[in-house]
Amino acid sequence: MDAVEIIKSMLAPAVMVNCCGLFLLGMNNKYSVVVGRVRALNEEKRRLSAAEREGKSNENNRLTSINKQIDKLLYRVKLVRNAVISYTVAVAFFIVNCIAIGCNSLIGNGQAYAALSTILFFVGLIFVFAGVAYATREVIKGYEIVKIEVADME
């Protein structure tokens, strides 16, 4: 196999590494937003609880809403974490795939490396799919939290 063929065969896993990098960038942004929202709600919860203890406020409905939202946001954080882990593991498989392709080119036409390369690529794709599934569930949970917030304002 000549150098051009080796580079061509390494291109697909390299593109997938780039793809996962974009997914990771988006997930890290979501993680920051969700964690920021949890912190803001916890701060509001502390203020409302302190005011209620002093008898200055009676915001039981808002406290209930905040508790529901925090529970769902914590679940969202877990989903984002799982998506990030899935994408990161996929990147690892794609990198190992490139290494296997390189080893195959150095050693010769080893069928074992060709099979290993194919398996590594497909396992990487499975982890990308898992990451997408977690991200989709996270979006659905985000919608549920918005519904709680809107219901609290009515």
Task: Please name the residue ranges forming H helices in the chain.
Answer: 3-53, 60-107, 111-153
What is the DSSP track for 65-86?
HHHHHHHHHHHHHHHHHHHHHH
Model confidence pLDDT, tens digit, residues 92-125? 999 999 888 888 777 776 677 778 888 999 999 9
Of residues 104, 81, 80, the one with CA closest to residue 13: 104
Q: Which has the closest alpha carbon to 42: 17, 66, 20, 18?
A: 66
The residue whose two tokens read 């915001």 is 59
The phi, psi pair for 152, rounded to 5°, reads: -70, -30
Instruction: Please write the tens of the pLDDT for every residue from 39-89.
Output: 999 999 998 888 887 777 667 788 888 988 999 999 999 999 999 999 999
More confident residue, 39 or 7: 39
So what's the pLDDT on residue 63?
86
Using the structure block, give the residue that is written with the tokens 């065969």.
Answer: 9
What global pTM score does this model have? 0.82
